Chains A and B, each alone.
Chain A
Amino acid sequence: MMRAVILAAPSVDALDNPALSALLGLIVITLIMTLGVMFATWYERKAVARMQQRLGPMRVGPWGLLQPIADTLKLVSKEGVRPASADRIAWDLSLAAIFVPAFLVLVAIPFTADWFVSPMDLSLLYILAVGGLSFIGFLLAGWGSDNKYALLGGMRAAAQLISYEIPMILSMLAVVMVVGSADVYRIILYQDVVPLIVWQPLAFIIFLTATIAELERQPFDIPTGESEVAGGVFIEYSGIRWSLFQLTGYVNMYAYSLLGAFVFLGGWEWPFGTDIGWGYQLLLTMVKMALFIVFFLWVRTSFPRLRVDQLMSYAWKVLLPFALAQIFLNGLVLVYDLPDVVLLATSGGGALALCWLVYSVVRVKPRQPLRMVGNVPATAPGSVSG
């Protein structure tokens, strides 16, 4: 009976049927995602070029705005070469294993107070769980390519992604403790007066660092470093397959930026409240998301690539203890009903300690005069630090 009604008048009853409304939402998301990624490729090239005092794409369309369309046409019509010795199933399955989790994350994201694909009670946990699946795709691609660089790159990608997964989950856990809910929607509503970055600066810094590592963006692009593993898992992929990897990277960038904007910067709630209408809410969300993206690009142009041992040490020896300390301090404040200012004081102190630790390791030491042994310079003692 119900089904017959829907078939007869889809425009009227479409939004009453959860499956149809979800499907509609997914179609909208697919369109936004494709356009957004095309814009992001153009914007990244343009912004990085300006930071390096170049012009970036200028030829195709005004300010090179049509460049992504030309790139898409080129990539779709490019031959996809598969090595004869590659594992056929793992080779193509890896694309789905990387792309589908990135797509699934978008389902749980509340873009405005009224518009999201699916309401979910545990959306933060869901986003973290599904977002953490992508390393399987990198492993599959590395294994399936039958190439030593690809295998090394896939292994490195897996090691890096699982290592930075832990600090990211724990920093989110600290926020969940303060809010008392693992629903992104409730976390946004909680921040109607003060955004959570004020109460949890240490968790924010950990989240930001772990996000750059999860996205495999520079300076954490060790799995795909051109000078070390010749592009890592991407080495054998060409044409549309390669562009699917890139697409997924940008979708993940959008998703994690949105997550950061919602969880730490107050999303569409702070500072104007829920009643300003969906247009302004969407604008506010986009502005906060853009802050994250510009920050990623800025970091990309500013820092050289880390070494792999520095990367792993930073995740396990610095970020993880700090995240555990943040959770302990939050628990102390919440259980003993201390005022919120203590939350700011402990987390801010932790953030300062973390910044000082990083600074003391990476700062440029004053150059020492060369000691000569005979007529060869002796190697400077203690110049390398882990």
Chain B
Amino acid sequence: MPFEALLENYLAVFLATIVGTILVATALIGTRILAPYSKDRAKVTSYECGMVPIGRTRAQIHVRYYLFAILFLIFDVEAIFLFPWAVNVAQASHSAFWAMVLFIGILAAGLGYAWRKGVLQWNR
């Protein structure tokens, strides 16, 4: 019964999501009831340097953040691919091992290319 096995493994996770959300909501409602509250125009400005900030806050972000995010995606997907292989590697055949080494090697070569191109250098 795959669904019952799923339920057995992840029912608690589902419940914990609900309980965690309730905990956060309780804290927010509790502070709404307990804490004093007063409105003040100066109080609700951005906490920067006492003046009203100039310019948009949602500024443009440097492109290197996106490059690292793309690299992260590649290697995270690689890690997911590796997990089932890693569990069975001790019983696997030699060819299964070398096939995965080829896969890791291609990704490592990609990392080397990114390194060479200066993607991994933060302050260019």
Contact = CB atoms under 8 A, between A and B. Distances in A.
Given A79-B36, A317-B115, A117 B46 contact: no
B29 to A, nearest CB: 10
A176 interface: yes
Nearest to B95: A335
Contacts of A316: 68, 71, 111, 115, 120
Interface string B39-79: 00001111110000100011101000100110110011001
A3 to B, nearest CB: 16
Nearest to A102: B20
A117 B12 contact: yes
A26 B104 contact: no
Interface in A86-101: 92, 95-96, 99-100
B1 interface: no
A312 B90 contact: no
A244 B92 CA distance: 46
Contacts of B59: 148, 151
A182 interface: yes
B16 A335 contact: no
B46 A240 contact: no
B113 interface: no
Nearest to A161: B72
Contact of B27 (A149, A159, A240): A240
A327 interface: yes
Interface stretch (A165-173, A192-200, A208-216, A268-276): A165-173
Contacts of B37: 79
A277 interface: no
A166 B76 contact: yes
Contacts of B92: 335
Contacts of A92: 28
23 contacts: A22-B16, A30-B23, A77-B36, A79-B35, A80-B31, A80-B35, A85-B57, A95-B24, A99-B20, A100-B16, A104-B17, A120-B10, A125-B83, A148-B57, A155-B65, A177-B89, A309-B122, A312-B68, A316-B68, A316-B115, A317-B120, A331-B89, A331-B100
A239 B33 CA distance: 13
Interface string A316-332: 11001100100110111
A100 B104 CA distance: 33
A182 B87 CA distance: 7
A107 interface: yes
Given A92-B28, A240-B31, A327-B82, A334 B20 contact: no
Contact of B79 (A81, A158, A162, A170): A170
A26 B21 CA distance: 13
A139 B30 CA distance: 25
A309 B121 contact: yes
Given A26-B19, A180-B90, 5 more contacts: A83-B44, A320-B111, A321-B111, A335-B94, A336-B94
Contacts of A108: 13
Contacts of A96: 20-21, 24-25
B72 A118 contact: no
Given A148-B53, A173-B82, A240-B27, A83 B45 contact: yes
B31 to A, nearest CB: 4
Contacts of A330: 89
Nearest to A25: B12
A361 to B, nearest CB: 15
Contacts of B75: 166, 320
A160 to B, nearest CB: 10
Contact of A239 (B12, B31, B86, B87): B31
A334 B48 CA distance: 56
A47 interface: no
Nearest to A235: B47
A279 B66 CA distance: 49
Nearest to B29: A240
Contacts of A80: 31, 35
A81 B76 contact: no
Nearest to A386: B121
Interface in A287-314: 308-309, 312-313
Interface in A35-64: none
A82 B44 contact: yes
A103 B65 CA distance: 28
A29 to B, nearest CB: 8
Contact of A148 (B12, B17, B24, B48): B48
Nearest to B62: A155
A155 B61 contact: yes
B90 A176 contact: no
